Structure 1
């Protein structure tokens, strides 16, 4: 009797197991996310927000780096337009994420779509796509919500705790831990030339534009990576059809 794979499709009527699988899959990533969330909480109290105001802001603007940037801008007296524009620019990548998840949510209810868009985080995308490839849409959605919910709970708790602290922790540790959590997800995806070259080009462009304002370097890197992946994908498809 063969042992069942841990990430195998849960089977009929077992969305709870899919939900639990998503939560378990996200747990290792939270090691790098917890200190980042604490920094988000600290950013609120350091910029004149009370602990409760910081918690409310975190619930309303659950947005990672954009959340920290918005708090800093508000603390420095920036206008509402600047704060909103900055947050939107930093989070423009979620347009790509949403398009990626759209087929999975094509038959979902309005409530599921709204909840899914609110809970959307970077790490949940590769986890869901790689671990639920052969699953039914219902189980894929359940896995996605499991991963996102445990992330959301961790973020809110650590942000709330961080807002009580009197000074920022060593940001070097946070800057190291968060990218490592993303690299752990990225590495298994680099299985073919289009993805590998897309990652290389995106990284080079993002690093080259690191000093550009409004986080423009990251956005340019994102679009450059997408364009590279598409170009190599088309080339590979053309070579395959010609052979």
Structure 2
């Protein structure tokens, strides 16, 4: 009788590139929801009074849909800048918990990587990466997996937001 398991643990020999694309394949279905949300955020940016440059810039710098929409609503009502900043800060505090939770899996990476991945931290990047790290604890190139989830999402989100900005600019004021 054999003592081998039918599914021996896979030997992880993936390259950084392969790991990046594994992350991309994981996050790709989320694009179906991110695109309409980004379009709405872009249109909302214009209707709140932002210029196209301000709207696209905000999307690229903030990269947090819930915070962006909250800030845009406050901008539209003429709220003070301090109120807008504080509101987005409070909404994004969850990222501190995400970072603390995922840090043990990324202890080995450089400060440069940490800064990049912190910028790309979203609910989706956190969730998909954490599941990957927990289900494949010996998988190499963890930072590349996170990058494969976060970077494509960043580009899809910002492209959809930019399209929404330019579509929103075509909508006549009511």
* The two structures share one fold, judged by TM-score above 0.5: yes
- The answer to whether the 8 A contact 2:106-2:142 is kept is no
TM alignment of 1:223-242, pairs within 5 A: none
Alignment of 1:28-67 (within 5 A): 28-67=29-68
Stretches of structure 2 lacking an aligned partner (at least 5 in a row): 1-6, 170-174
2:3 paired residue number = none
RMSD of aligned Cα (Å): 2.0
Structure-1 residue corresponding to 2:164? 162
Q: Distance in 2 between matches of 1:47 and 1:146?
A: 33
Instruction: Give CA deviations for 1:120-144 in whole Å, capped at 9, x if unaligned.
Output: 0101222112234334475221111
What is the distance in 2 between the residues matched to 1:83 and 1:137? 41
Superposition map of 1:193-204 within 5 A? none
Structure 1, unaligned runs of 5 or more: 168-243
User: What's the secondary structure of 2:144's corresponding residue?
Assistant: helix
- Following the alignment from structure 2 to structure 1, what is the Cα–Cα distance between the partners of residues 139 and 109? 9
Q: Deviations over 1:141-164 (max 9, x none)?
A: 111110001100000000000112
Query: Following TM superposition, where does structure 1 have runs of at least 4 consecutive aligned residues deviating by more than 3 angstroms?
Result: 135-138
Q: Which has the higher contact order (CA 8 A, sep 6+)?
A: 2
**Cα separation, 2, equivalents of 1:53 and 1:103:** 37
Q: Report whether the alignment pairs 1:117 with 2:108.
A: no
Measure, in 1, the Cα distance between the counterparts of 2:104 and 2:139.
Answer: 9
How many residues are paired up? Answer: 160
Tell me whether 1:150 sits opposite 2:160 in the alignment. no
Aligned positions of 1:170-189 closer than 5 A: none
Whether the aligned pair in 2 keeps the contact of 1:45 and 1:51 (CA below 8 Å) is yes
Corresponding residue number in structure 2 for 1:185: none
Q: Following TM superposition, by how much is the alpha carbon of 1:90 offset from its aligned partner in structure 2, in angstroms?
A: 1.3
Mapped to 1, the partners of 2:132 and 2:148 lie a distance apart of: 13
Note if contact 1:10-1:17 (Cα within 8 Å) is conserved in structure 2: no
TM-score (normalizing by structure 1):
0.61
The aligned counterpart of 2:4 is none
C-alpha displacement at 1:165, in angstroms?
2.0
TM-score (norm 2): 0.84
Shift of 1:75: 2.5
